[in-house]
Amino acid sequence: MSTQTLMKSFKNSLVPSLALGVFLALPLTAAHAANLDQAKQQGMVCELPTGYLKPTGTATPDVKAMVNDINTKRKAEYERIAKQHNVTAQAVGVLTAKKLEPKCK
């Protein structure tokens, strides 16, 4: 099976549930999730097209630390999902990113 065919199959089978599955599996505490939402609303964090967070220039040291922690957890989850479906973690991140807001400008 070609890489293109494999990716198309992966995308068609997982896109609807991928973002939900990734975030249900991430061990974020309620406080962590609330802080992320607040940081996004305040423009201190945005979502990259790779499926990872990016702190903006206004991010505090605490927000930057939170972003690093969440990105580490996302990477582990992307790798787990990728291994199950014989695709790259990068592909999982890109597909997940399509469901996340706000996008980085």
pLDDT, position 1: 47
How many CA within 13 A on the CB side of residue 57?
A: 1
pLDDT per position as a tens digit, 62-77:
999 999 999 999 999 9
Q: Distance of CA 31 to CAs 9, 36, 38, 70, 103, Å?
A: 37, 9, 10, 13, 22
pLDDT, position 83: 95
